[in-house]
Chain A
Amino acid sequence: MSLLPAHLPPNAGARKYRLRPLALIIAPIVAVAFQVKAPLFTEYLSYLDPPLLVTVYFGLMRREPVSALFIGMGVGLLQDALSQNPLGLFGIVKTLTGYWTASVSLRMDSDNNMVRAIFAFAFYLVHQLLYWTLASSLLGQQFSFEPGEALLFAILNAAVAVPLFQLLDKL
C-alpha cells in the first residue's frame, strides 16, 4: 500500500508530536461545546462529530496509545455527562478509538492529508458501529444503524477533518 511509509520503521521514534498541555485540555472541551452548540444554529452541523475528530487527531499525532486512550476517555466521558445516557458509553467507545488510532498511526505518515482523511473516515465508521453495538448490547437501547447514512456522514467528517487537523497543527 502506497500510503504506508515504508521508509519509516514502525518504532523509529519518528517525529513525536509534542502538544502543548493546554491545547490537550482546551481542544476537546471546545469540540464538545461545538457539538452541543452548533446544531442550534444549523441542523446540518449535528452530523459533524468534532469530539471524535479531535480524538482521532490526538491519537494520530501523539502516536502513543496510552495518552491517546486517556484523551479519548476524557472526551467520551464529557459527552456522556451531557447526554441522557449513563456515564461510560461514549467513554468506552472513545477510549478504544483513541487507542486504536494511536496504535495504527505508528505505521502511517500522520501528516499526510490523505492519510488523515482516511483515518477520519474509517474511525467515524468504527466509532458509530461500536457505539451502536455497545448501546444495544449493554443498555438495551434500540435504534437502527443505517450503513448508507453512516457512510455519507463519514465522508462529511473526513472532509472536515483535513482542515480541522491543519488548524489543530497550529496550536
Chain B
Amino acid sequence: MELLVNRYRNVTILAIALAAQLFLLAYQVKSRQEVRSIRVWAVTGVMPLARLLDVLHANTFGLISEYASLVKAREENRKLQDRVSKLQMENQFLRNDLSTADRARVLALFQARTPSKTVAAHVTGRGPDNSKVVFVDRGANDGVKKNMPVVTSDGIVGRVGAAYPSFSQVVLLIDTNFKAGVISQKHRIPGTLKGQGHSTCLVDYIQNQEKLEVGEWFFTSGDDLIFPKGIPVGQVKSTREGKMFFQEVHLVPSGLQKGLEEVLIVLDGVHQPLPDSQTVQAQQPHLMQPPPAEQNTSSGASRVIRGGVVETDADQVVDRYRRIGIVQGHPYGAGGVPNFNIEPPPPAPKPDPESRPAEPRGQQPE
C-alpha cells in the first residue's frame, strides 16, 4: 500500500489538490457564501504591487512615448533642428502631463462642489477574467461599504461590489450585474439602467409611447436608493421600439469615456436637482435617507401608474358630469331639473386627490 502511494505520489497529491478545490467551489456554489478571507489576502497582496506598476508605467512608458514622439517629429520635419524637436517633444510631454493634472484638478473641484460626502480613490487594477470590475485603493478602513456609488465628474462609474480593508472592488456600470435607477433630463422619464457587458448600456422600462431623443442625457434618479439623484449617467445613442411595451434605449455611459484613473466613492449621498430644471428653488438639495431604508415613507398604497395612464374613459365621463352639476349648482338625485347638454368648463389641472396619485416617489419638486 505504502508502495502504491509512493509510486503514485504525484497523482495522489494532484487528486487531493483538485478535490480540495472542487470542495471549495462546491461549498461556495451550494451555500452561496463567499470565502472572504482568501479574497482579502489576495487583494491586499496583489494591489500594492499593481500600484507599484503604476509608478513603473509612468517612468517606462513615459520614456517610450517620448521616444515615439521623437521619431514622429523627425519624420514629419527632418529639417527641424534637434533643439526644436526636443522642444516639441517636451511640449508634447508637458501637455500630456497637464491633461492628467487637469483631470485630477477637475475631480478635486467636483469633489469640493458636490454636496455628497465622497472619498477620492485611485483605480489600481481590474478583474483578471475580463470581467467588468476594477479595484480601487480605498476600502473598509476609509469607510467604504458595499453598494456605495462610484462616480467621476463625468458621470457614474459603478458601485462598490465588495469592500476589503484597504481596497475595494467596483462593479462597473457596463457589467451585467449593474443596475441603477435613471431619469431622462428633458422629459423626466424614469427607467432602469442595465449593464450589458460591453461599451453601451441599456435603459429598460421606458414605454414605447414615451418621447426620447438621441443625444438626450440621463441622470441618476435616486430611486434605487444607491445613487443620489442628479448625477450624469450618459447620452442616448439609439432608441428602438420594443416588442413588449418598452423601448430599447442604448446609452453611452459618460463616466467611462476618458478612461479610468481617479474616481470618487460616495460615502453619504445627497440628492441634487437635474440640471436645467425649470424652477430655481430646487437648487436646495435635500438629504438622502440612509440607503436603502427610509426613503420610501412618502409612498402610499396606490401610486402613479407608469406612463401616465391613470384613468379610463369612465372616470372622465363622471368628471364631466360632476362639472356640469357644479356649474348648474345641481345636486344629483335632488333639487331641480338639470340640463346635461351644456358644455362644462374644462377640468381643473390638478387631479382629484382621491384618484391614483400622480407623483412618483423621490420626484422632488422641480
Contact = CB atoms under 8 A, between A and B. Distances in A.
A88 B18 CA distance: 9
Interface in B1-45: 9-10, 13-14, 17-18, 21-22, 24-25, 28-29, 35, 38-39, 41-43, 45
Contacts of B17: 69-70, 73, 95
A145 to B, nearest CB: 13
A82 B46 contact: yes
B21 A88 contact: yes
B126 interface: yes
Contacts of B41: 81
Main SS of the interface on chain B? helix
A55 interface: no
A79 B134 CA distance: 13
B56 to A, nearest CB: 9
B228 interface: no
Contacts of A90: 128-129
Contacts of A59: none
B225 interface: no
Nearest to B57: A41
Contacts of A40: 123, 125-126, 134, 259-261
Contact of A39 (B43, B57, B126): B126
Interface in B47-72: 47, 49-50, 52-54, 57, 61
Nearest to B167: A82
Given A87-B24, A88-B21, A95-B17, 20 more contacts: A29-B46, A33-B53, A36-B47, A36-B124, A36-B126, A69-B14, A79-B128, A82-B125, A82-B127, A82-B128, A83-B129, A83-B131, A84-B129, A87-B21, A87-B25, A87-B38, A92-B22, A95-B14, A99-B10, A138-B29
Interface of B: 9-10, 13-14, 17-18, 21-22, 24-25, 28-29, 35, 38-39, 41-43, 45-47, 49-50, 52-54, 57, 61, 123-131, 133-135, 161, 177, 259-261
18 contacts: A29-B46, A32-B46, A33-B52, A34-B53, A36-B47, A37-B53, A37-B54, A40-B126, A41-B57, A65-B14, A78-B46, A83-B127, A83-B129, A88-B24, A89-B25, A95-B21, A96-B14, A138-B25
